[in-house]
Structure 1
Amino acid sequence: MTSKEKLLLFVLACLNFTHIMDFMIMMPLGPQLMRYFDISPQQFSLLVSAYSFSAGLSGFFVAFIADRFPRKHIMLTAYTGFVVGTLACAVAPTFGLLIAARTLAGVFGGVLGAQVMSAVSDVFEYERRASAMGVVMTAFSVASVVGVPLGLYLASTFSWHAPFWFVGIIGIVVIGLIWKYIPRLDGHLSDRNKVKHHPFEAVTNILREPNQLRALWLTTTIMLGHFSIIPFIAPFLTANAGFSESNLYLIYAVGGALTLFTAPQVGKIADQKGKYPVFVVFALLSMIPMWLITNSTSNNLFAVLGTAAIFFVFSNGRLIPTQAMTASVVLPQQRGSFMAINTSLQLLMQSVAVYFAGLVIQKTSDGKLLHYDWVGYAAMLFIFFSIFIAKTVKPVDAKRVEEVVVE
């Protein structure tokens, strides 16, 4: 890996860090926000899903223009809007205005994930792609180890507004890094300029290609399984298991610290052994902590942290080969549009998963949450089905080789 490639991955990881922390911090803030605004699990799920829903819609519409501009231009515009939305969260005084600010942040944030994945896929060929994805996705680990604990500390010391001030200020610095160090990334435009393209080709291309449809189906099942349980981990542990709210940061710190080391290794193994076999192993393993978390009755610190640790490691290990597989079902000229639609679907399914989990989970008069285990069983079923769907997703290069051999 060259120094320029490392610098590119570093800046993309910084972008991911702020983007992920902004989204992640809402979930451990759940107990505090539910108490501060006196809201129900359904209202809290609406607060979380507001970002995902608006992000999903904006990502879908951007898909129609994503491949008509350099990656850098779209990334810089979207990230600037995201920072503005995050700063709006920092000054929101009421529950209604916070939802509005989260919606604004989502409108721009929904574009970022696809652009990061497209940039990595454009620069790194398929044989090195999972390793590069693993490096960029260490931002998730850093956000867990540093971002979330620091955010919770700021929230407990000052107010729930403080973490958003932190992300917004760091985001201003990242804008400068993107402007200075991210190249135009416009190689995909050379071929597009030779041909007149239909404005809705992003959708028609997907509808004509079953392999791309299967990749989107894979995204759907994984998100429904993953995000139905994540937002309610902190509220459930504090309300039902009696876990100390002051120790919530340790869940993210321990889990994130482990994935900081495991994510790059998973990427390397996926490149060496194959994306699908590695995905299957981690998908099956991830169902163990999913069951343990949604059925937990223990507030023992070591038991909770141990369960959270393997949940983070196995879920993150499942996601890395998934991202590499889905990014490889299209050619570079179509990748920005496809990844925008994929990310849009991902965010919309997150919103759906959180919203319906909020409908299933009920809050008793003494504050306990009921039926979280039902949500866990449904989530495990989705992850199990994703194994069979992933089997059918093939990289576009592999398909071409097969077609040449047949001919």
Structure 2
Amino acid sequence: MQMRTSWWSVPLLGFGVFAVATNEFVLAGMLPHLKSSLDVSTATAGQVVTVYALACAVFGPVLATVTAAWPRRRALVGAALIYLVGTVGAAVAPSFGLLLVAQAVAATGTGLFVPVAAATGAALVPPERRGRAIATVLTGFTAATAFGAPIGTAFGSQFGWRATMWFVAALAVVGIAGLVALVPKDIAAPPPETLRRRLAPLADSRVLTTLATTMVAFTSVYVLYTYLAEIFAPATDDDGGRVAVLMFTFGVVAILGSYLAGVLTDRIGGRAVTASCLIWVGVCMLALPLVTDSFAASIGFVGVLAVAGFSMSAPQQHRLIGLNPGLAAVLVSLHASILYLAIALAGAVGGLSLSVGGRGSLGFAAAALAVLALALSELAHRLATKAARTTEAAPAREAGQTTGAARTTEAAQDTDAVSAPSAPQAQLSGD
């Protein structure tokens, strides 16, 4: 009975991630509705995405530290309830300011729920199935981008953005009921991890530069995704259904692109894949003004961009883990936080660009960010290469010093012992 419960628990955790992550992007497709409903500009409306992502990045790790000693089901239900309160608050918010506050509350729940769900999924299965369990849980995040946000956008185009928020809240209620019914109470928490230890790798310039590459690269991509409805307004005629089609295309192709990027990373390395993706994204962004007047061309463009747009996560995580495999879990956690920061920056940078240069400037701003990310990627590679050479040179220097000392000793020995150095030399060679 316990095994059956555990088997259903892992997909249920994936559904929970799908529910809490959908809110992060669903309002990106609803910016025209927010603009008219709350009497704000499109650039201002886009800050709902900024605030949500920033709250995930900042408050999620803090809450994860605070609740580290809690039983996993209690932490999950607590995170889901925080998310539900924020989502309901967003649905009834009478002003844009209160909408931002409510979204920040919901985002705090999301930032806690996702990593705890992944760890819980791994704890529910035997060691040989943990990788698949984590992948199953985190597939909910991908599904939120590919399916949740487009469905919510289409729903909101018919019934209004507040109805979309109620729809997302209903998903959370179903998820909470499933958590209580199917996730065991007695899942032990891992040893508490301090926030200082979580942030310690940032003192390494190689880690910091690699994370900066991820942040700037995904800021470039999310500038387009956040303001998708505004950028392609001439092609969609502000039709929410058409915007949903663009979002769906982006999400589905991104899933396929991410898989291919993982395969390529194993073959040619993370640096080459990241560089290729960034060049691809930069060229696409420069071509953006050529396709925004035709819906068919817009679908094609979004599909082409999505191949590389979300394909940088796997190679970047591969590069991070390669820097210090012993801290893989901490580095992956930092990578997740950096992605949230990228989404937040995209809303802010895109809003500023929209205010200053209009929708036509967004593609150029995104292209410039892609170029900057490429420069950071190459800097990260040079720092990693330099550190590797230094590490390799240290044993050689130590070996040279040991050999020199041995030769000094040999010179003082009797000539009958001339053949003796073969033994220590062999030992040094073995080291």
TM-score (norm 2): 0.73
Deviation at 1:208, TM superposition (A): 4.7
Task: Judge conservation of contact 1:124–1:132 (CA < 8 Å) in 2.
Answer: no
Deviations 1:319-372 (A, max 9, x none): 233345546766778835x555544443234323321321222279xxx63522
| 1:354 equivalenced with 2:347 (yes/no) | yes
The change in CA–CA distance for 1:405 and 1:308 in structure 2 (over 3 A counts) is farther
Shift in CA distance, 143/109, structure 1 to aligned 2, threshold 3 Å: closer
- Whether contact under 8 Å (2:59, 2:111) holds in the other structure is yes
Unmatched 5+ residue regions in structure 2?
A: 397-430
Q: Does 1:248 align with 2:250?
A: no
Partner of 2:196: 200
> Is it true that 1:219 corresponds to 2:214 in the alignment?
yes
**Structure 1 residues 247 and 63 mapped into 2: Cα distance closer, same or farther (>3 Å)?**
same
Q: Which residue of 2 aligns with 1:164?
A: 165
Residue pair 1:152, 1:163 contacting (<8 A) in 2 also? yes
SS at 2:27 equivalent: coil
User: Relative to 1, partners in 2 of residues 1:206 and 1:40: Cα closer, same or farther, differing over 3 Å?
Assistant: same
Question: CA offset at residue 143 of structure 1?
Answer: 2.9
Aligned 8 A contact 2:202 2:208 in 1: yes
Which structure carries more relative contact order (alpha carbon 8 Å, separation 6+)? Answer: 1
User: Could you say what secondary structure the match of 1:93 adopts?
Assistant: coil
1:212-361 equivalent positions in 2, closer than 5 A: 212-238=207-233, 240=234, 243-245=237-239, 246-271=241-266, 274-293=269-288, 295-326=289-320, 335=329, 339-361=332-354
Q: Is the 8 A contact 2:31 2:46 kept in 1?
A: no
Rg comparison, structure with higher value:
2
Contact conserved, 2:57 with 2:338, CA < 8 A, in 1? yes
Report the 3-state secondary structure (helix = DSSP H, G, I; strand = E; otherwise coil) of the residue aligned with 1:39.
coil
Count of matched residue positions in the alignment of Structure 1 and Structure 2: 388
The answer to whether the 8 A contact 1:133-1:320 is kept is no
Residue-by-residue CA offset, 1:284-321 (whole Å, 9 max, x unaligned) = 3333333333x245432221101111222322222233
1:21–1:148 Cα contact (<8 Å) kept = yes
Task: Give the counterpart of 1:372 among 362, 368, 373.
Answer: 362
- Identify, as 1 or 2, the structure richer in helix: 2
Partners of 2:223 and 2:362 within 8 A in 1: no
- Counterpart position of 1:151: 152
**Aligned partner of residue 229 in structure 1, secondary structure:** helix
- Give, as a single letter, the amino acid of the residue that structure 1 aligns with 2:315: P
RMSD: 4.3
> 1: distance between equivalents of 2:229 and 2:262?
29
Q: CA deviation at 1:219?
A: 3.3
> In the alignment, is the contact (CA less than 8 A) between 1:88 and 1:101 conserved in 2?
yes
In structure 1, the partner of 2:48 is: 47
117 and 268 in structure 1: CA distance in 2 versus 1, 3 angstrom threshold: farther
